[in-house]
Amino acid sequence: MKLAFVGVGGAGTRIVDRLLAREAETDRTVSRGNAIVFDTAEPGDAFRGVEHVPEECRVTFGDVHPDVGPAGTGGNPDLGVAAAREDVYELRRAFDALEFTDVDGAVLVAGLAGGTGGGAGAVLLEELQEVCDDPVYALAVLPSADEPAGRALTAARSLQSFVRIADNVVCFDNEAWDSEIGPLEDLESRTLSYEESVDADAESTDDSSPAVDADADADADSRGPSSDVASDDPDAEDDSPPHPYETVNRAAADRLLSILGAGELESMTIAENRIDASDVARTLETGGVSTIGQATLELEQRQRAPDWLPVPSWLPASFRGWLTDSPEDSGPTDAARVKDLVQRAVESRLTVPCAVDSADRTLIVLSGPPSSVSRKGFESARHWLEGEADTVDVMAGDEPRDAAELTATVLLSNVTEVPPVEAVQERALEALELLEDRDGRKSTANADDAAGENEFIW
Ligand SMILES: Nc1nc2c(ncn2[C@@H]2O[C@H](COP(=O)(O)OP(=O)(O)OP(=O)(O)O)[C@@H](O)[C@H]2O)c(=O)[nH]1
Q: Where are the domains of the chain?
A: 3-255+418-451, 291-413
Is 175 among the annotated ligand-binding positions?
A: no
- The verdict on the CB of residue 391 being under 6 Å from ligand 1 is no
- Dihedral angle at the C-alpha atoms of 49, 52, 57, 59, nearest 10 degrees? 0
Residue type, 24: A
Could you tell me if 256 and 189 are in contact, meaning their C-beta atoms sit under 8 angstroms apart? no
To the nearest 10 degrees (0 to 180), the angle between helices 77-86 and 88-95 is: 70
- The verdict on the CB of residue 18 being under 6 Å from ligand 1 is no
Residue type, 28: R
Q: Look at residue 432 and tell me whether its pLDDT is greater than 90.
A: no
- Cα 241 to ligand 1 centre (Å): 19
pLDDT grade, residue 243 (50/70/90)? confident
Is 118 among the annotated ligand-binding positions?
A: no
- The verdict on the CB of residue 14 being under 6 Å from ligand 1 is yes
Count other C-beta atoms under 10 Å from residue 261's C-beta: 27
> What fold does the segment set 291-413 form as a domain?
60s Ribosomal Protein L30; Chain: A; (3.30.1330)
73 SS3 class: coil
CATH of domain 3-255+418-451: 3.40.50.1440
Is 407 among the annotated ligand-binding positions?
A: no
Residue from 67, 116, 247, 351 whose mutation best tests the ligand 1 pocket (most atoms within 8 A of CB): 116
pLDDT grade, residue 339 (50/70/90)? very high
Angle at Cα 297 formed by Cα 271 and Cα 142, nearest 5°?
A: 95
- Cα 16 to ligand 1 centre (Å): 13
The one-character DSSP state at 299 is P
291-413 has the same fold as 3-255+418-451: no
In whole angstroms, how large is the CA radius of gyration of the chain? 23
- The verdict on the CB of residue 154 being under 6 Å from ligand 1 is no
What tens digit of pLDDT does each residue of 47-105 get? 888 999 999 999 999 988 888 888 889 899 999 999 999 999 999 999 999 999 999 99
- The verdict on the CB of residue 78 being under 6 Å from ligand 1 is no
- Cα 289 to ligand 1 centre (Å): 19
What tens digit of pLDDT does each residue of 287-334 get? 999 999 999 998 875 555 555 666 666 666 555 555 554 544 444 458
**pLDDT: which is higher, 452 or 364:** 364
User: Residue 150 belongs to what H/E stretch?
Assistant: helix 149-165
> Cα(115)–Cα(82) distance, rounded to whole angstroms?
10
Is 147 among the annotated ligand-binding positions?
A: yes
What tens digit of pLDDT does each residue of 127-165 get? 999 999 999 999 999 999 999 899 999 999 999 999 999
